[in-house]
Amino acid sequence: MSAQAKTTSEQNKRLSFFSWFNQKGYLQGVFWIIVVSLVSNMNDILTRKVGGRLPPLEVAFFRFFFAVVTLLPVMISKGRSSFKSKHLGVHALRSVLLYGAIVCWSVGVTLIPLAAVSTLALTVPIFVLPMAVVFLQEKVGIQRTVATLIGFCGILVVVIGGGSDAASFLKDITTFNNGTLYMICACVLFALSDIINKKMVVKESTLSMMFYIALGTTAFGIFPAYTVWMTPTLHEFIFLFLLGAGANLILFFLLKAFAATDVSALAPYRYVELLLAGMFGFLLFNEIPTIWTLVGATIIVPSTFAIAYY
């Protein structure tokens, strides 16, 4: 084989490798949802850096403000046509849902223990499954449903086992107090947002979806941020800027995942984020996983990856 033929063959292999990421398929969807978990953990680390001093509502505002700032040059470079959309009403609805979810989340966190918050947050995939059936007409087999429920049981092992008072934890959940209601509302809104994103991804460009939800959420967040305003330092501004860029990447990769395969098929893989959080917590903050975390992981991992066979 000539040198030119070898070079051409190598180029074709590289193109074939990169084209795989843009194809539709179950494995592509799983890949992108795991990337979402990675970037989400990076954003959690940044939030932890700035959230110690700045109010949560202000951090949330800057997250979406800088998401707009980092997207704007890309939108301008593509010309006026990139700002055109036939679905501005849907974008407004997406922004309302996301902002409402963030507000409910912020309130709920102040009213119930963090253990309860963590558990309720992980009910989003449970809400996604029936919504995918009702709104997207997706077929959800018994295997996917069982795998998701088993994964959630693994989450309960980690959260309840890691709490200092399991009885108090269960009381907070079963008494269904206002904090619990706020958290459940947040999870339902996040699930609805996932469903709308899945429907919109075939009608609107990824860039347009990213820009308008960031712009809308920024607009909704201005006044709440003003009421609790604290001027960030230079370092905090840098972290907030990275947080906004990370928010764009999360949505971009999430939309790639939704375009590749069914939302319901990806729901169990949201649990991978917990494992990544444990790893980063150990590496960056010297947080040693408890025995309950390890037991929970042995439940979560098999149930998560078993879904690949169905």
- How confident is the model at residue 68, as a pLDDT? 92
Please state, in angstroms and rounded to a whole number, the distance separating the CA atoms of residues 256 and 129: 19
> What torsion, rounded to 10 degrees, do the Cα atoms 166, 172, 176, 181 define?
-110
Q: How far is CA 140 from CA 85, 126, 211, 309, in A?
A: 32, 12, 31, 14
Please state, in angstroms and rounded to a whole number, the distance separating the CA atoms of residues 193 and 188: 9
- How confident is the model at residue 164, as a pLDDT? 44
pTM: 0.69
Q: Give the count of alpha carbons within 13 A of 38, CB side only.
A: 8
Q: Which amino acid is at 31?
A: F
Please state, in angstroms and rounded to a whole number, the distance separating the CA atoms of residues 260 and 265: 11
Token pair of 72 as six digits: 């704007």
- How confident is the model at residue 1, as a pLDDT? 54
* 219 phi and psi angles, rounded to 5 deg: -60, -45
Q: Give the count of alpha carbons within 13 A of 203, CB side only.
A: 11
3-state DSSP assignment of residue 164: coil
- How confident is the model at residue 290, as a pLDDT? 65
Q: By the 8 A CB rule, do 126 and 275 touch? A: no
Please state, in angstroms and rounded to a whole number, the distance separating the CA atoms of residues 310 and 303: 12
- How confident is the model at residue 222, as a pLDDT? 93
Q: Please identify every stretch of the chain with a pLDDT value under 50, giving residue numbers as ranges.
A: 164-165
Inter-axis angle of helices 56-77 and 206-227, nearest 10 = 150
- How confident is the model at residue 182, as a pLDDT? 81
SS3 annotation, the chain:
CCHHHHHHHHHHHHHHHHHHCCCCCHHHHHHHHHHHHHHHHHHHHHHHHHCCCCCHHHHHHHHHHHHHHHHHHHHHHCCHHHHCCCCHHHHHHHHHHHHHHHHHHHHHHCCCCHHHHHHHHCCHHHHHHHHHHHHHCCCCCHHHHHHHHHHHHHHHHHHHHHCCCHHHHHHHHHCCCHHHHHHHHHHHHHHHHHHHHHHHCCCCCHHHHHHHHHHHHHHHHHHHHHHCCCCCCHHHHHHHHHHHHHHHHHHHHHHHHHHHCCHHHHHHHHHHHHHHHHHHHHHHHCCCCCHHHHHHHHHHHHHHHHHHHC
Q: Which of 229, 264, 224 is nearest to 100 (CA)?
A: 224
